[in-house]
Structure formats: structure tokens, C-alpha cells
Copies of this chain bind each other. A is one copy, B any other.
């Protein structure tokens, strides 16, 4: 039995369009409805035939849904939810894919005070944005974290979990605050640092942009991928998860200062010890199937 028969996706970007494609692939009998605030995106979604129906308003999109998934930037969640609140069926479950959860839990509870809400975060993505960037296998073997507030209907949580399992994801459940601290270090801080270093490299006066690009294979190019991620999405993440991000940033800055000092004073042993320890983390990631085991991320070398 399918966990949901009528699924509506609000926001047809990388994640929304990937959920649509993955649902079509894994649960072809599900009736899929999509909506995006941008008429151009709706047109692309129609053309790519990702949904059974692309609605022209979010109210019309949710009117007979039993699962509604909000796939909009974190800062747009509350307004997007308010927009369809009056049309939402009483028995529908509402979920989302936001990268920070405490703020989203607050926003959705405020916009939909009587709805059953099961917040979710599939930890997956690429640097591409928009409806054409999605693909059906994006969530395979990736973790989807559910952060149901206390008192959430257990059956609704299990149905959302089962929905994500069918898309190929593994499920974990945790409190919204803990989620936000874990993701601050595994996702938000890495993006912040990548954006910063790419900015720093762009602003050099003595090293040209052309040199930065030419010699990027020395390591820099690894940072440019996540620094090419969607600007709106990431602005919202940093504003919504401000405290956890600032705390992680503080820890990172302290560690960087220690390393700076080790370089200044020529403490080779300290450098060597850290550089040895960090190899083990990569091994763990590869052993647990969270990255490509091939060297250089499996990039082609022809």
C-alpha cells in the first residue's frame, strides 16, 4: 500500500523536481500535482511532463492532496503555506525539505495551526538549480532527517518516512534544534567557507581572475562547486540558522588561528598530526557510502 495517493509539490526547483521524478519512478500510481509561484517554471514543468497536473494556484494544487511538500527557500515557507492554508484538506499531511528546521517548524505552525506537519530534510543536492536540474536518483542512499515536533501523530510520521524510503532514502529522526546544529557543521559552515574563499580569490589585485581559474585544479575548484549553489536558498539558510552557524564559525575560526600560529612558528609536528587525523574522516565517509570511493570524486581524466 502506498503511503500517500495524492502528492502535491509546492516549489519546482532542484529538490521539488527531483521528488516528482523519483515519485514517478518509484510509485507511478501516485497522482502528482505541482505548483510554482513563477509561471515560467510552471511552463517548464508542464513541458517536461513531471506532474499529472501543474496547477495555476497553490490553493488549487493542494485541494485534494493527502501529502503536500513545500520545496521553497526557508525564508519563503511561511508565506507559501499561508497562501494555500484555506484550501488544505483537514486530513492532509504537510511536509517540507528545508535545510534548517527550528525556524521552519515555527513558520509552518504559525501558518497552518491545525495541520499535521512532519518537517523533513533530505540531505542531498547538487550545485544546479531549477526544474531542469532535478533527477530521480538524487535521494538514493542519502539520509532524510525528520524533525516532528513533540506530539506529532506517529502514523503521519511513519507515512512520511515510508514515502522517503520509497524514493531510496534512509530515515533518521531528531529534534529540530539538534538537526540545526548538526547541519550547521556538515552543510551550512562548509557552504559559508566555500563562498568566502571563492570571494577572497576573486578580489585579489596581484593574482588575476584568469590565474585563479587556470590553476584551480590545485584544490580551489573543489570549493567552487558548492559556492555555485542557489543564492536565495543559502541566504535564507544563514539567516534562519544564524545562531548555530555563528557558533560553528567561531569554533572554526579558533581552529584556523591555531593552525595559523603553527605555520608562523614552524611547528611542523602540529600540522602533520592534524593532517593525519583528517584522513580518517574521509575513510569513514567512503566506507558508509556517502561519497564516491574513486579518487578525485571520480572526475574523468581523459
Contact = CB atoms under 8 A, between A and B. Distances in A.
Interface of A: 75, 99, 123-128, 133, 135, 137-138, 140, 142-143, 145, 172, 178, 181-183, 185-204, 206-207, 209, 211-229, 231-232, 234-236, 238-239, 242, 245-246, 248-249, 251-253, 255-256, 259-260, 263-264, 266, 268, 271-272, 274-279, 281-285, 288, 290-292, 295-302
Contact of A123 (B215, B234, B260, B284): B215
A291 B224 contact: yes
A285 B206 CA distance: 19
B204 A234 contact: no
A285 B185 contact: no
27 contacts: A75-B268, A127-B295, A181-B207, A185-B212, A187-B215, A190-B197, A193-B193, A194-B219, A196-B256, A197-B252, A199-B255, A199-B274, A200-B248, A213-B281, A213-B288, A214-B288, A221-B290, A224-B285, A225-B296, A227-B278, A228-B278, A231-B272, A234-B275, A235-B275, A292-B299, A292-B300, A297-B298
B202 A185 contact: no
Contacts of A214: 143, 172, 288, 290
Contact of A249 (B138, B232, B255, B260): B260
A266 B8 CA distance: 32
B298 A300 contact: yes
Contact of A271 (B204, B224, B225, B234): B234
A266 B243 CA distance: 11
Nearest to A208: B182
A253 B253 contact: yes
A186 to B, nearest CB: 4
Chain A interface mostly: helix
A157 to B, nearest CB: 19
Contacts of A193: 193, 197, 223, 256
A215 B145 contact: yes
A133 B295 contact: yes
Nearest to A249: B260
Contacts of A145: 215
A5 B235 CA distance: 57
A126 B296 contact: yes
A248 to B, nearest CB: 7
A263 B288 contact: no
A231 to B, nearest CB: 4
A260 B254 CA distance: 14
A280 to B, nearest CB: 8
